[in-house]
Structure formats: C-alpha cells, structure tokens
A and B are shown apart, each in its own frame.
Chain A
Amino acid sequence: MTLHSLAPYVIAGMLLGIVLVKSEVIYWVRIQEMFRFQSFHMYGVLGSAFATAFLSLQLLTRLNARARTGEPVALAPKELGNGSRYWIGGSLFGAGWALCGACPGPLFALMGSGITVYSVTAIAALGGTWTYGYLRPRLPH
C-alpha cells in the first residue's frame, strides 16, 4: 500500500480518536462503571454503535454498494472452529480490559491525549500479541 492510499485511514482514525476521547469510553473509570453496572453510558455507546453499524450494513447490502476500490463491500466471515479461541481469548481480553481500562484502539487515543504511561501498556499489549503468535500452534482454536 502506498502512503497516499493510507491517508483516508489516518483521517478516519483521527475522527475516531476525537469521538473516543470526547465520549470518555477510553477511560478506566467508565469501563469500571460498565463492569459494575453503575452507569448506562458504555452500554448506550456500544448499543447505539451496534445498531447504527447493523442498519448501515443492511443498507450497503441492499444497495449493492461498492468500495472506493471497486469491489463489492463485504465482511469476511469469522471462522467459528470449536469456539474455544473466542471463549478463552475473549475472557482473557476482558480481564485485561478491566485492569488497564483500554483495548487496542483506545490505547492509542490515551497516549495521544497525553497520558504517557499508557505507552507501557501498549508495549505490554504488543508483548501479549507476540506471545500469542509464539504459542499459537499449541493453543486450542
């Protein structure tokens, strides 16, 4: 991919980063409130994001929409396997999310917003990703 073709993603990311900060969904306290069922905010954000994405996908499918690159828009189906990667990986990720208050996208928004200690979390997350890659042949999927 050329730098030129990456520009739209950088711009999309910038807009996303602004929404993530202004809606406070990247902050540990908001994540804690969600897991403690003390606030509706996160559920409102995730629920309405899901609904908007769902309706948009229906619309794109009905309109036979094409990507800027020409091919019809499509999402690759996720292989279910025996489901263990989703059960195990999901619950480990959830545990990490509760501890550090951030998933991969928000990590970058947090660093950008000036909370520099999250660079350590990002390096740890890269270490976690690398460990998964290393152990992958021995893990159930």
Chain B
Amino acid sequence: MLHWLSRPWPWYVAGPLIGLFVPALLLIGNKPLGTTSSLRAMCAAVASKDVEFFKYDWKRSGAWNIALVCGVAVGGFIAATLLPHDTSALVPATLFSWRALLTLRGATCIVVGGLLAGFGAAYAGGCTSGHGITGLASLQLASLIAVIAIFAGGIVTTWFLLPLIL
C-alpha cells in the first residue's frame, strides 16, 4: 500500500480526487474550491489601509481560505517526507533555486512569474482551481473565458517568451 502510494499518482486517480474537493468544501461550509482569495485575505490582514479591495472582513470571509492553503503546505510536507518520490527533475535547479535567483532567467521565473500569477489571478478573480475546476463545473461563462485566456497567456509565454531567456 505504502509502496503504491509513494509512486507518482496517475491522472485518473488524482483528477477525480481533486474534483471531490468541490462538493467537500460546499458540504463543510458552503465554500467554493479556490486558492486565490487566500492571497487577498493575507494582504488584507497585513496591509489593508487606503486600498478599498482589502477593506473587507477577511476574518469572516477569507480566513477559511488561509486555513486551506496552510493545510496545503502541511500536506506538501507530509507527501514529500512520508510518501516521497524523486521529483528533482521536475523543478530544474537552474531556474528554481536560491542560486538561480541571482540570474536573469531564474529571477524572471521566480519573481516576475510570481508577480504576474498573483496580479492576474486577483484580476481574474480566480485561478486554475477557482475558474478551471469550480467555475467550469458550475458552467459559468466568466470561468470559460478565464480558462481560455489562461491557456492563451501560458502558451504564448511558453512558446515565445521563455525561449528568449532559457
């Protein structure tokens, strides 16, 4: 069992499991699966002054999402320590390491990538989980547009921008 669990999980196991978090979160507390709002709540908790977007009751409507992503971090730790498999080739150290942070391409991926992901997800009101899974599963046109745009942005960046820095 443990041997089987510690191998990479195939898509037909992982996908349905991820999908089940949508009904699970609805049944737990009527919450939509998504992680983008955790960043908004963290900003509101730290530096809300003068910015309307962060003046909301984050403890009431955003704390659950911070709890969720804290859990995700713990889950990541558990998976990497108790059920490890070799993932070293999946995150190239030439791009994603403290040493790489001092190079142009490393800083572009680590810092510019994070900035764009955080800005874009907040602007679009969701990311892969909120729009791609929850939004699409509830047949929202807004989420279909967001998913098309996400793939357009990702494909253009991968095919035309990344080759310039790699």
Contacts and interface: CB of A to CB of B under 8 A. Distances in A.
A35 to B, nearest CB: 4
Interface string A63-75: 0010111010111
Given A45-B11, A52-B19, A139-B123, A90 B145 contact: yes
B interface majority secondary structure: helix
Most buried by B among A20, A50, A114: A50
B25 interface: yes
Contacts of A6: 63-64, 67
Contacts, number: 488
Contacts of A99: 108-109, 112-113, 116-117, 157, 161-162
A56 B116 contact: no
Nearest to B13: A23
B120 A94 contact: yes
Q: What's the interface size class on A, roughly?
A: 35 or more
A13 B74 contact: yes
Contacts of A101: 91, 96, 109, 113
Contacts of B30: 67, 69, 71, 73-74
Interface of B: 5, 8-33, 35-36, 38-40, 42-43, 47, 51-54, 59-60, 63-65, 67-80, 83, 85, 87, 89-92, 95-98, 100-101, 108-129, 131-143, 145-159, 161-162
